[in-house]
Structure 1
Amino acid sequence: MQYSVMDSLMCPLTGTVFSGVITNKNLKLIIWYQGETIIQAGDLLSTVGEELLVNGLHSDITIISVFPFNRANWTLLSKRTGCPANGAFLPSACHRPDTCRFARCPYGLEKQGPDKATHLMHQDIK
């Protein structure tokens, strides 16, 4: 089976990802998973036996659950995940006040919490 990725949402609280996918038969699903591999819109997923390939390459993705996609659930997930980069516009930095369980930001953003902002202000003054 092959799936095209429509979009992905990061959940910093759990360190997991929700990806909306669609099959060539127009079946839409949400895959909830964990792993260092982050799938993005436009990626192709395929299965070979029990293995999930991303763009034809081995992945470390562990699927937690798969459930039907609908726009209302996707919007609710987007609002509840708490990642500032889950949305139409990518911010220049992460201003999430709480801890993020991703070792590296899937969006490549640098953390800009209160301590970091204060440190940068002191550097500018010098």
Structure 2
Amino acid sequence: MKWVIEKNLVCPSTGVCFALLSGLKNLRLVLFYQGEYFLRAGSTLKTSEFGYVVNGMLRNIKVIHFLPFNQSLWQTLEEKLDCPGNKVALLNECDKKRKCVLKLCPYGAI
């Protein structure tokens, strides 16, 4: 099945990422995942017998959970997750870097 990533969020204290996926017939899901690859808005995600394919490339993604999309859940995640990249499209420096468990900033901050 093919999914399009609409939005994404990161939890810097746990390293869990969240992606809002859109599929057939406007089916929308919230994906909880971890991995070395960050799902960006506009990317495509496909499931295969070998794993997860993002934009045509097999990627190492560990799926933690799926939930049906709920606007209030997504809004709560946006409000509570303390990552500056979740709110700012272009981020050069991050003042939360000391508390972040991610080795590489998915938003490109130093």
Give the TM-score of the pair, scaled to structure 2: 0.92
Secondary structure (helix, strand or coil) at the match of 1:85 reads helix
Secondary structure (helix, strand or coil) at the match of 1:79 reads helix
Shift of 1:52: 1.1
Unmatched tracts of structure 2, length 5 or more:
none
Conserved? CA contact 2:83–2:96, under 8 Å? yes
Structure 1 match to 2:25: 25
Conserved? CA contact 2:6–2:20, under 8 Å? yes
Secondary structure (helix, strand or coil) at the match of 2:75 reads helix
Secondary structure (helix, strand or coil) at the match of 2:74 reads helix
Larger Rg: 1
Q: Tell me how far apart the structure 2 counterparts of residues 97 and 28 of structure 1 sit (CA, whole Å).
A: 31
Q: Tell me how far apart the structure 2 counterparts of residues 9 and 105 of structure 1 sit (CA, whole Å).
A: 12
Conserved? CA contact 2:21–2:29, under 8 Å? yes
The structure carrying a bigger strand percent of its residues is 2
Unmatched tracts of structure 1, length 5 or more:
111-126
* Corresponding residue pairs, total: 110
1:13-92 equivalences under 5 Å are: 13-49=13-49, 51-92=51-92
Structure 2 match to 1:120: none
Shift of 1:16: 1.3
Higher relative contact order (CA 8 A, sep 6+): 2
Q: Which amino acid aligns with 2:85?
A: A
Q: Which amino acid aligns with 2:25?
A: K
1:98-109 equivalences under 5 Å are: 99-109=99-109
Shift of 1:93: 1.5
Structure 1 match to 2:4: 4
Identity %: 35
Give the TM-score of the pair, scaled to structure 1: 0.81
Q: Tell me how far apart the structure 1 counterparts of residues 97 and 35 of structure 2 sit (CA, whole Å).
A: 23
Regions of 4+ moved over 2 Å: 88-92
